[in-house]
């Protein structure tokens, strides 16, 4: 009952290991990037490709999360002892098998998407290039030269990968360089970088034990939190920019769709000043979700307003 032929662990432990909630957000991010960027009408092939690329990104993220937990298992025994791997609910051998399965799913779906775009006469090259860049960043982050151990460099890489997911969604409909989409990508990137910095502050005890050179260890905890908030403000500017510049037919008053996002982002300064890192981390994730929902809702309603 707890495994498939003794090879794979119980489903609930797999969902915990792959961070299923984050995978849902990743898939929704692809959908937002594609929906905002599509300049033509939807058809069966485009819908199919968007679904395939949502699966590709979710599988890619699952493989990345598993790899991260495999590499960090000893650190997590200190910082996150209840997580699936350090608590022994899933073995390292099982985790490696799962990582390979999810990686294969991601590869198959991106290749399928390239064929669909090619058959539609759309540019498939950006889709493959973005996936390849993301794969390279993930490998260099986790395995070699392990950029995760070098402070702000690792934070920027993870943040950039979040922004790439937005552009990847746009590439899945053949329109990767749409101005509004790029602003959303910058928003996600800045929020991702800020969140990674705060997570490093939260995980500082384990990182110190294993000799990592994260930003809080080098720069100090509160200085790192202050930098995280400055980066948050860059994210706010990215959100506001398309409305102020009237890109994609957006008007000033439409910024109300991003009101909740901006509100949450500006209030993050409170938890950061108090050293409430967990709340700041959750608020940054919430703001990212609200930002995507805001742009998605605006795109749906724009023909009627």
Which CATH number goes with the domain that contains 228?
1.20.120.1780
Q: Is the pTM above the cut of 0.85?
A: yes
Would you say residue 15 has pLDDT above 60? Answer: yes
Q: Decide if 305 is inside a domain.
A: no
pLDDT tens-place string over residues 258-272: 999 999 999 999 999
Q: Has residue 195 got a pLDDT over 70?
A: yes
Residues facing residue 8 across a β-bridge? 4
Whether 110 and 216 map to the same domain: the answer is: no
Same domain for 274 and 201?
yes
Instruction: Give φ, ψ of 213 to 5 degrees.
Output: -105, 60
Over residues 72-98, the mean pLDDT reads 86
Judge whether residue 3 has pLDDT over 80.
no
* Residue 66 in this model has a pLDDT that exceeds 60: yes
Predicted confidence (pLDDT) per residue in 87-132, tens digit: 889 999 999 999 999 999 999 999 999 999 999 999 999 999 999 9
Is 274 domain-assigned? yes
Same domain as 218, residue 123: no
Q: Domains in the chain: how many in total? A: 2
Within this chain, do residues 109 and 210 fall inside the same structural domain, yes or no?
no
- Do 135 and 280 lie in one domain? The reply is no
Same domain, yes or no: 22 and 142: yes
* Cα separation, 18 vs 13, whole angstroms: 9
Contact 148/141 with Cβ under 8 angstroms? yes
The encoded tokens of residue 6 equal 């003794």
Q: Is there a single domain that holds both residue 220 and residue 261?
A: yes
Measure Cα distances from 153 to 193, 210, 218, 226, 284 in Å.
10, 18, 13, 17, 19
Q: Are 141 and 157 in contact (CB under 8 A)?
A: yes
Between 2 and 191, the more confident residue is 191
Residue 67 has pLDDT above 90, yes or no: yes
Give the range of the structural domain holding residue 85, as residue numbers without chain letter. 7-173
pLDDT per position as a tens digit, 148-181: 777 788 899 999 999 999 999 999 999 998 999 9
Q: Say if residue 157 is in the same domain as residue 184.
A: no
- Residue percentage of the chain with pLDDT more than 90: 73
The verdict on 84 and 183 lying in the same domain is no
110 lies in the same domain as 160: yes
The last residue of a domain, from among 146, 173, 200? 173
- Within this chain, do residues 169 and 60 fall inside the same structural domain, yes or no? yes
- Which helix (H) or strand (E) segment is 179 a member of? helix 179-202
My answer on whether 50 and 193 are in the same domain is no
Residue 2, in any domain of the structure: no
């Amino acid at each position: 009952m707890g495994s498939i032929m003794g090879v794979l662990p119980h489903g609930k432990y797999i969902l915990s290991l792959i961070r299923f909630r984050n995978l849902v957000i990743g898939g929704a991010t692809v959908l937002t990037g594609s929906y905002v960027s599509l300049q033509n009408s939807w058809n069966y092939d485009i819908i199919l490709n968007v679904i395939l690329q949502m699966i590709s990104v979710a599988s890619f993220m699952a493989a990345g999360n598993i790899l991260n937990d495999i590499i960090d298992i000893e650190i997590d025994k200190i910082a996150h002892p209840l997580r699936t791997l350090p608590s022994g609910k899933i073995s390292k051998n099982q985790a490696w098998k799962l990582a390979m399965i999810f990686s294969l799913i991601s590869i198959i779906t991106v290749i399928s998407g390239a064929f669909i775009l090619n058959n539609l006469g759309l540019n498939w090259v950006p889709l493959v290039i973005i996936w390849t860049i993301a794969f390279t960043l993930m490998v260099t982050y986790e395995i070699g030269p392990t950029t995760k151990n070098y402070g702000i460099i690792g934070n920027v890489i993870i943040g950039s990968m979040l922004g790439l997911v937005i552009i990847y969604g746009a590439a899945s409909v053949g329109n990767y360089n749409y101005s509004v989409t790029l602003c959303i990508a910058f928003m996600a990137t800045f929020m991702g970088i800020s969140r990674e910095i705060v997570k490093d502050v939260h995980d500082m005890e384990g990182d110190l034990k294993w000799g990592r050179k994260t930003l809080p260890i080098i720069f100090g905890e509160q200085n790192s939190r202050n930098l995280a908030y400055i980066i948050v403000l860059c994210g706010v500017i990215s959100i506001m920019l398309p409305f102020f510049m009237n890109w994609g037919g957006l008007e000033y008053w439409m910024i109300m769709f991003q009101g909740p996002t901006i509100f949450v982002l500006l209030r993050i300064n409170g938890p950061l000043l108090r050293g409430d890192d967990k709340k700041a981390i959750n608020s940054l994730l919430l703001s990212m979700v609200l930002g995507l929902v805001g742009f998605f809702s605006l795109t749906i309603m724009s023909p009627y307003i």
